[in-house]
Chains A and B, each alone.
Chain A
Amino acid sequence: MKNDQRKRKAGRKTGRSAITRCLLLLLLLAAAVLPAFGAADVPVFADASGSPAYVTDQQGLLTQEEADQLAEACGEFAKKYDCNIFFVSAGDPQIGENHTEEDDRTYLENFNEQNFGAGSDSIGLLVDMDLRYYYIDIMGDQALQAFTDQKQAKLQEAVEEELAQGNYAQAPFTFVDQADYWYGRNPKSGSYVMWTLISIGVAVLIMFFWYRSAAAKHKEQHVSAEAAAYVRPDSWQRNQSQRRRRSFLINTEEGRQIWQTRPINV
């Protein structure tokens, strides 16, 4: 008898500890995933914040205000990803009469190296109104890793669409926006770690509710508290009355309450 009871207790324990083990496994997994991605998350700020090299509008595509805005957006991007981003508009006066697309590319690559230093992470857009040509240069290990061929294609697509529609001033803004969007979806970025944790959380939640709905069927007997099924059809009769007791006004101005409870005679 005694032995029997001990067995029962042991049996219940294995059931509970099995669930505990699952949770432990999950925690271990999360612990393993975190540092792998977390390591890349130490921010190192680009030193050239607010540097004029972010916006070099030699063909006057932007107003001064737009240029300032763009420079600010570039500075934020650089801070966020430790990767410079810049915009250049250039044409015959800068690159030379009868220059080719090849010359454009060389010009941008040189510009990049001279302004941001060879080997540093940076990404630049050149718009040449004379050739009606644009070019995007990406430099640096981290930036190249973040911008896979697919993501480069997406970035080009977005810029090209603006230029094709004649939105020359909008194109560099779209360029920075899209670069931000795709750089952020980078397995080494901090937001990836965050979303990985959220994914794990979502998986746990799905499982929790799945399990709960399956387990709920195991306890179904309840004492009935009402008798709605036994009301004779058409037997329901009622009287009703309502009497207005008081009315009042609340007066507000732009969300601010000025006075309350001014009674209205009823």
Chain B
Amino acid sequence: MANQTYKCLNCGGELNWDPASQKLKCPYCGSEFDLSVFEQKEEKSQQDIRNKTYEKGASAAENGQTRSTDDTEVHPEDLRVYKCSVCGAEVITDKTTVATSCAFCGNPVILEENLDTQFHPDAIIPFRISREEIKGLYTQYLKSRPFTPRDFYTDAHIQKIKGVYVPFWLYDMPMEGHLHGTGERVSSYSDSNYIYTKHDVFEIEREGTLQIQSLPVDASSKMPDEAVDSIEPFDYKDFAPFKMAYMPGFFAERYDEDASFCSGRALKRAGQTTVEMLRSTVTGYSTVTVTGSSTGVQGGEESMHSRYVLMPVYLLYTKYKGKDYLFSMNGQTGKAVGNVPIDGKKAALFWLIRFPVILAAALLINFLIFA
């Protein structure tokens, strides 16, 4: 079986997942189809995966290829070659790509190989923000950054925004923590001759437990942590069982950092919160010194549980004056966070326009007070 595609029942065109209607939509005739229409096909492809009868990618290196066709930047030895089921062209992509598009005909390409058993996601949050909405959200985002260089606004640039299903581990972890420190209470009283200041020093001990639930850590080495952390939180009520029909029209990655590899970041975040919660219970002292704290998972790290999920993220890489800037947006909630460079000319203009006005106002107020 070649890579999966979903064909329009009316015109035979390749269907794309449409975030606005939460259905599969034909870009040619506009027909929309509920996922249930393709229930059988979904079942068939799950079977393909179980029976491993999917198309396997050939090593690109062996085929003499050194560059991917979908902009993924990886070592040539990690590239795999697939055949586009629509136009037959060779699609060269890396071994962690689950969904991409054919560079030649633009049709969606889903690679079942990378959804095989261990890489099969437990759940998925489908895209909710559509490509039409994203243009408005992106320009709105840029406008509130006053020194954005012009290059960032061009339509051609905005077209490069990619919708990616990013692999995440969601950790459930029962945390325990211990904090000790000293606190001091000061009270004061006086008689006719002296002022007495009484210092009471206390030994403080705090212990606490809490449950961390579905803490997300991105599982792809390609994703910069700050870009995906910054667009949290995702709303987990939209989790649906994984279906391949959510893929067409988007890119998708499989994890290349496993649950035990990513647990370090989860432990760090959960530990920090545990300490903060313990610290917040230490009240009623005039000064507090924390002398030590420790946190960990109750019953050891075996009692940490993780789920493998895909969550929707829009990404836009921009190269500007030799540096990379990444814009990321939560594909479910629309929360946008980015790093945008400062255009020197715009910054200078900001000063040139505003400073004389502020200065004039300040000098005028000063003059009016004196005159």
Binds B, one of A75-83, A120-128, A172-180, A204-212: A204-212
Query: Which residues of A have CB within 8 Å of B333?
Result: none
Of the residues A185, A196, A247, contact of B200 by C-beta under 8 Å: A247
Query: Which residues of A have CB within 8 Å of B339?
Result: 218-221
Given contacts A218-B147, A227-B270, contact A247 B201 (CB under 8 A): yes
Measured CA separation A189–B371 after assembly (Å)? 11
Measured CA separation A121–B365 after assembly (Å)? 28
B297-328 vs A, CB cutoff 8 Å, 1 = contact: the mask equals 00000000000000000000000011000101
Measured CA separation A238–B274 after assembly (Å)? 11
Measured CA separation A196–B370 after assembly (Å)? 10
Size of chain B's interface in residues, with CB distance under 8 A?
A: 79
Min Cβ gap A241→B in Å is 5
Main secondary structure of the interface of A (DSSP, over half): mixed
Query: Which residues of A have CB within 8 Å of B208?
Result: 236-239
Query: Which residues of A have CB within 8 Å of B207?
Result: 238-240
Closest B residue by C-beta to A218:
B340
Q: Are B226 and A229 in contact (CB under 8 A)?
A: no
Min Cβ gap A200→B in Å is 7
Measured CA separation A110–B194 after assembly (Å)? 63
Is residue A228 within 8 Å, beta carbon to beta carbon, of the partner chain? yes
Measured CA separation A249–B196 after assembly (Å)? 6
A185-196 vs B, CB cutoff 8 Å, 1 = contact: the mask equals 111010010011
Is residue B214 within 8 Å, beta carbon to beta carbon, of the partner chain? yes
Q: Are B338 and A21 in contact (CB under 8 A)?
A: no
Given contacts A18-B345, A215-B347, contact A222 B229 (CB under 8 A): yes
Q: Are A200 and B213 in contact (CB under 8 A)?
A: no
Binds A, one of B7-15, B111-119, B154-162, B276-284: B276-284
Q: Are A221 and B338 in contact (CB under 8 A)?
A: yes
Is residue B37 within 8 Å, beta carbon to beta carbon, of the partner chain? no
Is residue A15 within 8 Å, beta carbon to beta carbon, of the partner chain? yes
Of the residues A15, A185, A224, A242, contact of B232 by C-beta under 8 Å: A224
A2-28 vs B, CB cutoff 8 Å, 1 = contact: the mask equals 000100100110111011011000100
Q: Are A236 and B277 in contact (CB under 8 A)?
A: yes
Size of chain A's interface in residues, with CB distance under 8 A?
A: 70
Is residue B73 within 8 Å, beta carbon to beta carbon, of the partner chain? no
Of the residues A8, A211, A226, A247, contact of B269 by C-beta under 8 Å: A226
Closest A residue by C-beta to B225:
A223
Is residue B53 within 8 Å, beta carbon to beta carbon, of the partner chain? no
Binds A, one of B63-71, B247-255, B355-363: B355-363
Q: Are B232 and A232 in contact (CB under 8 A)?
A: no
Closest B residue by C-beta to A261:
B199
Given contacts A202-B362, A221-B227, A224-B229, contact A240 B281 (CB under 8 A): yes
Q: Are B194 and A250 in contact (CB under 8 A)?
A: no
Min Cβ gap A147→B in Å is 12
Q: Are B362 and A200 in contact (CB under 8 A)?
A: yes
Q: Are A249 and B198 in contact (CB under 8 A)?
A: yes
Q: Are A230 and B344 in contact (CB under 8 A)?
A: no
Measured CA separation A5–B359 after assembly (Å)? 38
B211-243 vs A, CB cutoff 8 Å, 1 = contact: the mask equals 111110000000011110110110000000000
Measured CA separation A8–B67 after assembly (Å)? 27
Query: Which residues of A have CB within 8 Å of B195?
Result: 251-253
Query: Which of B213, B227, B328 has its CB near the most chain A CB atoms (within 10 A)?
Result: B213
Min Cβ gap B11→A in Å is 42
Measured CA separation A231–B269 after assembly (Å)? 11
Is residue B367 within 8 Å, beta carbon to beta carbon, of the partner chain? yes
Query: Which residues of A have CB within 8 Å of B209?
Result: 235-238
Closest A residue by C-beta to B207:
A239
Measured CA separation A187–B371 after assembly (Å)? 6
Is residue A258 within 8 Å, beta carbon to beta carbon, of the partner chain? yes
Measured CA separation A51–B257 after assembly (Å)? 92
Q: Which residues of A contact B (CB under 8 A)?
A: 5, 8, 11-12, 14-16, 18-19, 21-22, 26, 29, 148, 185-187, 189, 192, 195-196, 198-200, 202-204, 206-207, 210-211, 214-215, 217-232, 235-253, 258, 264
Supply 13 A–B pairs (Cβ within 8 Å), ascending by A. Answer: A195-B366, A199-B363, A207-B351, A207-B355, A221-B224, A231-B210, A237-B208, A238-B278, A240-B207, A242-B203, A244-B201, A248-B198, A251-B196
Q: Which 4 A-B pairs have the closest CB atoms?
A: A15-B344, A18-B348, A238-B208, A235-B211
Q: Which residues of B contact A (CB under 8 A)?
A: 144-148, 182-183, 193-215, 224-227, 229-230, 232-233, 266, 268-270, 272-273, 276-278, 281, 321-322, 326, 328, 337-345, 347-348, 350-352, 354-355, 358-359, 361-363, 365-367, 369-371
